[in-house]
Structure 1
Amino acid sequence: MTVVDRYKHGSFCWAELGSPEPAVTTRFYSGLFDLGIHHGKGYTILTRRGRDVVAIHRMRADEVERGEVPQWVPFVNVDAIDRAVARVEPRGGQVIVPPREVYDSGRMAVLTDPSGARLALWQAVHHAGAGLIDEPSTMCWWELNTRDADEAGVFYSDVIGWRRAERAVESTRYTDFFVGERKVGGMLQMTEAWGSMPSHWMTYFRVEDCDESAALAARLGGAIVVAPSDIPPVGRFAVVSDPHGGIFSIVAYGQAGRGPTP
């Protein structure tokens, strides 16, 4: 269990999901992760033991009309959001939402990296972000799946200041992102096996039992995108979608040895 009241620069601190039907989406995630529900200003906050975990909000009408699929957008805490955003476009990214106030909670901006993956930046004032991470039913890992790991790695190092360390993973490359000596996220080089899927950030939620949670997601109206399988030595993971197609991953640390689910 990790209780958090303040995040350091470069740490993932929050995630939000836009939905065409927030009530339906809220029921799905609340049921899947046994989370409480708090209706705030423009957002529905999912909670655990009285602490904020993630947020759900209504998609804009134009997003729905364009047929955009809901996607989890992770937030990274930064000390100086204007300085970070000023580096985005010169490094090949795009600023989707320039820095703006979010009530008295803090300031946010939304960007895409050179390959199109969407990420938000957050400079906290009265809301640090998730009050719990890295325990069952909360976020535990954030991973960039990208078409160009070299370009993306340079981009995030320049914009956020992450240090990178690369290692081989099966038939591709994996990069760990660090703040100082602390690992904060990862990056996977996508291969032809990914088909036409665009670059994207994946948010992982921790669970006690991967297979049971994946099955529950399907019963609640979601779908299993990648069946539960082992990722030694981490544990067991699956990729799941909610009723409107929002993609996320679940992982049970230390749970392994079953092999892939048929």
Structure 2
Amino acid sequence: MLGTQFTTGSPCWIALGSPDTEAAAAFYGSVFGWEFRPAGPGAGGHGFFQQDGRAVGGLGPPAEEGAASAWTVSFHTEDADAARRTAQEAGATVRVPAPDVADAGRMVYLTDPGGADFAVRQPGRLRGLERTSSPNTLVWVELHAADPEGVLGFYRALFGWRWAVMEAPGMTYRVVSTAAGDQRTASFGGVAELQEDPGNPRWIPYIEVGNADATARAVEGAAGRILLPPADIPD
């Protein structure tokens, strides 16, 4: 289960890079009730999504100039520069090397060998997400990859991840856990084979909600789009 006691390789942060941070803050405030708090002078327009004063994500301009709006999932490391070197040796591409985000942490933005963007984050004053696995917070992360087993080998080299194979309707799913602790308890996400465009591998953050249908209506009411309608998944 995803928590806030972060170990190497556990999801510790999600951040939205948006060319229009004001519109993004308004949208997520309307859908999830998140409040946006700017990080202050010198932060380059970055800030924090909060729920009851607790950090549940970040928002700022895209890490790369001209990039489209996108969420980035970050994984915990105690040494961002060492993680960057290990990732490169294992076949990753460095997109943005180790910027310090005010005093909140140190980041490296990477692309894995399968083409999915992610980041590693070394904590600073802010350890990471301050609330998870509760309504309107991060509860799961999922990688869609053309070669799940191949790319999981990369993440094992980088973080020591473990995984268990599970057969789901129409697909093979791999439930991923950190290297430390009971494997089931330490699970935080999954990896699935791309079912559509093989050129679009990606990490997807999942937000827990109390009512998926009501959330879908809130998204449309805030001028968002429904990519897949709400559906029940057996078991």
TM-score, normalised relative to structure 1: 0.81
State the distance in 2 between where 1:33 and 1:62 align. Answer: 28
Alignment-mate amino acid for residue 228 of structure 2: V
Partner residue, 1:185: 189
Partner residue, 1:148: 147
Partner residue, 1:210: 212
State the distance in 2 between where 1:90 and 1:60 align. Answer: 23
Decide which moves more: 32-41 or 136-145: 32-41
Partner residue, 1:8: 7
Tell me, what secondary structure is at the counterpart of 1:88? Answer: helix
Identity value in percent? 28
State the distance in 1 between where 2:122 and 2:77 align. Answer: 5
1:176 aligns with 2:175: yes
8 Å Cα contact 1:172/1:190 also seen in 2: no
State the distance in 1 between where 2:165 and 2:119 align. Answer: 24
Partner residue, 1:37: 36
1:57 aligns with 2:56: no
Q: Which has the higher strand share?
A: 1
Mind listing any 5+ residue stretches in structure 1 that lack a counterpart?
A: 234-262
> What is the 5 A alignment of 1:1-262?
4=4, 6-40=5-39, 41=43, 42-59=45-62, 62-63=65-66, 68-179=67-178, 180=180, 181=182, 182-191=186-195, 194-196=196-198, 198-233=200-235
State the distance in 2 between where 1:37 and 1:105 align. Answer: 16
Instruction: Call closer, same or farther: CA 1:44–1:100 in 2, change over 3 Å.
Output: closer
Q: Following TM superposition, by how much is the alpha carbon of 1:69 offset from its aligned partner in structure 2, in angstroms?
A: 2.8
Tell me, what secondary structure is at the counterpart of 1:87? Answer: helix
Tell me, what secondary structure is at the counterpart of 2:232? Answer: strand
Instruction: Call closer, same or farther: CA 1:210–1:58 in 2, change over 3 Å.
Output: same
Q: For residues 12-52 of structure 1, what are the alpha-carbon distances to aligned partners after superposition, in whole Å with 9 as ceiling and x for unaligned?
A: 11111111211111100011001222121331311111111
Tell me, what secondary structure is at the counterpart of 1:26? Answer: helix
Instruction: Call closer, same or farther: CA 1:150–1:89 in 2, change over 3 Å.
Output: same
State the distance in 2 between where 1:57 and 1:106 align. Answer: 15
Q: Following TM superposition, by how much is the alpha carbon of 1:76 offset from its aligned partner in structure 2, in angstroms?
A: 0.6
State the distance in 2 between where 1:44 and 1:83 align. Answer: 26
Aligned pairs, number: 225
